Each structure stands twice: as C-alpha cells, then as structure tokens.
Amino acid sequence: MNITASARAFEGKTAFTEACGLGTGPVPLEPYRSPEFFERERAQVFERAWLLVGREEEIPAYGDYFATELLPGGVSAILNRGKDGRIRAFYNTCSHRGSQVLDGPTGNARRIVCPYHNWTYATDGDLISIPDEASFFAVDKKRCGLTQMATETWEGWIFVNLQRQPEVDLRTFLGDFADRLAGVPYVAADKPIVLKADLDANWKVVQDAFIESYHIPAIHKKTIAQTFSSSENRFARLLDARTFGPHRTVSMYGNPTMPLDERNKVEMLAYASGDTGSLIAAGTSSQMAEFLDHPAVNPTRAGCWSMDVNNLFPNTQIDFGPGGFWVHQFWPLTPTTSRYEVRFYVPDALNARQRLQQELYVARVIEVVLEDLANVARTQRGINSSGKDEMQLQDSEVGIRHSVEQLLKWVEAETVTEALA
C-alpha cells in the first residue's frame, strides 16, 4: 500500500473521549501511588487477566523453551514446545524442593533436568526419574509433574493466566479486539531484540507515556518530535482512538518517513541509497506491503501516520508502524517502581548497510527510552508528593482515561465475567 496515495488530510478537532463513552472529569492519582491499590491490582488484575508472554516463533522446535518472570510477585514461568508440537506453560518449580528447574532466558531441553538434584521431567511436565528413588518414601511420580500454568495462543501470541482454572478463555478475554486484529501478518517474529529497564515509577505512569503522543514534541524534541508532529498538528493530536472492552487502540499522527538532513553523514550513509524504512521501525517498506494493507494498520488511512498503539489489557502494547510491529510491556515491581520491556522484531540483515540501519534503529530506541525513563521518574516523584489527588486529561489522552477506568472496574469486580461486562 502506498500510504500517501489516499492522503487523508489531518482534520484537527477530535472527540474521542465522548465517542468512547468515557467521562470528561478529572481522573484519580491514588492508583498510581497507593500500596493498598497495588495489592488489589495484583490480585484482581494481574492474577486474573490473560498476560502476553511471547510469540510461537520463538520456540519453533521440540524442546525449545523460554523462561519469563511474571510480575508482580516474581512468578517464574517456563514456556516450551512438547514432542507433540503443543506449547505448554509451567511454574518454574521442581516438585522435589522447589528449585527453579530452568534458568533461561531461552534454550532447548527435551529433558528438563533440575540442576539441584537432577530430578528429570519430559517436555509435557511428566516426572521421568528421581535419582536414588529407593531412598524416598513411595513418591507418587504421576502426581509430581511440573505444575502447569494455563496457556493459550492467539494469532501467534502466547498468553498465560495465573488462575489455576481461568474463569474465561483467551478468546472471550480478547473479545472484539481479536476480530479487529485477526490476520495481521507478523513478519520476522522469531528473533526479538529485547531491551529492559527498571524504572522509578508505577507501571501505569510508564504505560501512560506510551499511549499518548501529546508529550512527544516536548520530551523528545530532538529524537522523534519530527516523526509525530508538524505545523498542521503541533501538539501531535491523535488520528483515531477506540475501545474494545478492557482493550484500546489509538492511531498517532506523524510523518511516515524519516526526514534526512544532508549534513548528517551517518544518516546519509545509512539511508541515502533509497529505502529509508522509518525512524521508529527497522523493517523495509517492500517487506511491509501486506502488513500495511491490513485494515487495523493505519486504520484511518491517513497520509500523515506514524504508528498505532494496540493496548491489550492490562500491560501490553502491540504497536504498528510503517516498518513493522513491536511490543512494549509494563510490569509492576512495587507501588512506585516497574520493569519496562520492549521487544522489536527485525529480519536478518542481508548486507552491511542494512545492518547499520538496524544499529541506528536500536541506538535511537535506547535514546527515546532514556528520555522517557527520566521523565517517568520525575512524574512519579510529583505524584508521590500528594500535592495533587487528580489529573486533568485531554482528548488525546483518552487511552489513559480508559486504562484507569478499566483497572478500577477490574479491582472492584468479583468475577472476570463481571469485569468484562
């Protein structure tokens, strides 16, 4: 798709908050600092919602696995592929004395051997052997497999659920959002580049920064402001915003190609040969035609489009841009700290210049994250001071308003069905 061909001009005034059926009053800040709210959020949200942990392509073969930490609570999990081709999730805990059985982050183990005393499991979790079994007291090996964690996949994405018997299946949890995103082709999904950072801010302070573009002209003046704003849209107003049950999507204004400055020798070296990709993604446009044709990608078919944020409740954002997709996740650590992870997906470089383009992309992403890192810590300190109990949100911050509304709903709801109603 040529995204300039249909070139819909930016219209300016927006009314997304109303269209999404949300109120327009101030929004409480207590969920961003309260230890009590943090505990309820953990129990009611993170231990009941389906949580995205990776992609099927990361574990293509029998025995492939990755380990992950589900926070809060530091629940260590293993995702693997069995001999039968099925993906399973296990608590990373030996049946013997509770040691973690795999260290991760990734590998292949057709036999899962606990490093502590060599208890050995098959990929389906069954306990195969206990060294010196005769010295134990009639251990029932059939009951001593690894403890399974609920897992399901959707469109190649792997999710887990910390309820032993999830109240709703993944498809019900995703609802209409699954229909909207059905069939999006995820190119080069097998080798994510993963960046992590521990931040001095509640996870929502960080997630909020990634679902509004209002801050970009101020905070990211030199790195990405030119990508997200221009003289016709100085404050980076949104192109579109919609909600789907607890999930939401926003489409951001911007310049789909990177402006080149001839004085910048490295920029010219990397990109002057033609296929410029984009400032915020590393794929090349020729690989992206099918992806860009999908109706959920640049949904308004705007000529000036930078990216879409598909925010899966509670803490995952699958982003679409002119060069492909990437994923942000925001994991609570304490009421005022969190772990941020970004995974982006790039094809193998075919030559030296492409590899340089990818390196430039990674280098810039790190700079943008650094700018946000400093900003979210400043925001959290302000919130902690208790000088304010509410925040004022504008129309382009509709995603934040919807996020808080849904979290409050889940925290109060007795059942997941009630939370989704």
CB nearer to another protein: pick between 56 and 359 = 359
Write out the two tokens for 70: 């589900």
Q: Is residue 196 at the binding interface for another protein, with CB under 8 A as the rule?
A: yes
Which one among 362, 391, 411, 413 touches another protein, defined by CB under 8 A? 362
Q: Is residue 139 at the binding interface for another protein, with CB under 8 A as the rule?
A: no
Which one among 102, 288, 297, 373 touches another protein, defined by CB under 8 A? 373
Give the nearest distance from C-beta 338 to another protein in angstroms: 11
The structure tokens 């310049």 sit at 255
Give the nearest distance from C-beta 397 to another protein in angstroms: 23
Q: Is residue 74 at the binding interface for another protein, with CB under 8 A as the rule?
A: no
Rg of the chain over all Cα atoms, to the nearest angstrom: 23
Write out the two tokens for 300: 């308004």
Q: Is residue 223 at the binding interface for another protein, with CB under 8 A as the rule?
A: yes
Contact stretch for another protein (CB under 8 A) within 112-120, 241-249, 303-311, 365-373: 365-373
Q: Is residue 294 at the binding interface for another protein, with CB under 8 A as the rule?
A: no
Residues belonging to the chain? 421
Task: Give the span between the Cα atoms of 216 and 214, in whole angstroms.
Answer: 6
Helices (H), 6-164: 16-19, 35-41
CB nearer to another protein: pick between 247 and 343 = 343
Amino acid identity, position 243? T
CB nearer to another protein: pick between 285 and 358 = 358
| H or E stretch covering 203 | helix 203-209
CB nearer to another protein: pick between 99 and 223 = 223
Write out the two tokens for 44: 């009611």
Q: Is residue 82 classed exposed, middle or buried when 0-12, 13-18 and 19+ CB atoms within 10 A define those classes?
A: middle
Positions in 240-269 near another protein (CB under 8 A): 261, 264-267, 269
Classify 231 as helix, strand or coil: coil
Task: Give the span between the Cα atoms of 352 and 335, in whole angstroms.
Answer: 45
The structure tokens 């925040």 sit at 391
Measured CA distances, 155 to 57, 159, 186, 282, 349 (Å): 11, 11, 9, 22, 25
Give the nearest distance from C-beta 29 to another protein in angstroms: 24
Which one among 9, 61, 350, 421 touches another protein, defined by CB under 8 A? 350
Q: Is residue 333 at the binding interface for another protein, with CB under 8 A as the rule?
A: no
Task: Give the span between the Cα atoms of 3 and 256, in whole angstroms.
Answer: 8
Which one among 13, 142, 222, 234 touches another protein, defined by CB under 8 A? 222
Q: Is residue 69 at the binding interface for another protein, with CB under 8 A as the rule?
A: no
CB nearer to another protein: pick between 143 and 222 = 222
Which residue ranges make up the site for another protein (CB under 8 A)?
105-106, 191-199, 222-223, 261, 264-267, 269, 341, 346, 348-353, 355-356, 358-360, 362-364, 366-367, 369-371, 373-374
